[in-house]
Amino acid sequence: MHRSRRPLQGLCALLTLTPLLAGCFVASGTGTDTGSAGRLRVALAIPPVQALSPFSNDATVLSKLSVAEGLTALDSNGAAAPALATSWVRKDATTWTFELRKATFHDGTAVTAETVVAALGHAAAAKVKPRVLSDVTLTAKAEDADTVTISTSTVDPVLPLRLASPALGIFAAKAYAQDGSVSPIGAGTGAFKITKLTGKSAVTLDRFEGYWGGQATAAGIDVTWIADGTARANASLR
């Protein structure tokens, strides 16, 4: 079974920040307010650089807004904790086996070993490889519907921590286009699903009723990107 490990300093910088869960969001450079119908209004400073692609710096936003999840997450001590994987075992120096939980993508399709393998394969083959994969090559194989074996090119004792990176979030098949681009709209597994992305100015998220971890408190999140700090703070008071 999995064991708790402290992250290495070099890897820690690449991993996710605390996600937004159950209608609570507090972060530097952010304005928030509870709007009508139990929705949250959130103002962020830095707009998306690549249409919220998980293979860009936008991946952290997807994690913070509870849109996307990886096989693992980081607990309050910085150790690997279950997310889409419920448990894992290290078979040998370069091979790990992960057992998946029953979960559903925002488009209604099931999270299976095959979809996990495909998602990790797309990340590994990205034109600009996610930084979390800069020092390791991994391959994934579906053993059965709920079991994935991941092998690394070299010994990688922090693989469970690595898989917590927002850049290695697992998305439905519809997210991945033939040109290599990735769209998270309606394709994540988190507590909130993206229903509309308006360029670099706004994104609308609704509560995902089928979330494996239980329904979030907020009915949805309305995010706007506002660079000016004063304007961002004022936006939360409207």
Report pLDDT digits (tens) over 161-220. 999 999 999 999 999 999 999 999 999 999 999 999 999 999 999 999 999 999 999 999
**Distance between CA atoms of 115 and 120, rounded to whole angstroms?**
9
Answer whether residue 4 is part of any domain: no
Is the sign of the CA dihedral 141, 143, 145, 150 positive or negative? negative
CATH number of the domain at 171, please: 3.40.190.10
Report pLDDT digits (tens) over 47-82. 999 999 999 999 999 999 999 999 999 999 999 999
Answer whether residue 1 is part of any domain: no
User: Per the structure block, which two tokens stand in for 217?
Assistant: 């408190």
Answer whether residue 2 is part of any domain: no
Answer whether residue 74 is part of any domain: yes
Which helix (H) or strand (E) segment holds residue 220: the answer is: strand 220-225
Report pLDDT digits (tens) over 103-134. 999 999 999 999 999 999 999 999 988 999 99
- Domain of 204, in residue numbers: 9-235
Which helix (H) or strand (E) segment holds residue 126: the answer is: none
Task: Quote the number of domains for the chain.
Answer: 1
Look over the chain and give the mean of its residue pLDDT values, rounded to a whole number. 86
pTM across the whole model: 0.83
Which helix (H) or strand (E) segment holds residue 198: the answer is: strand 192-198
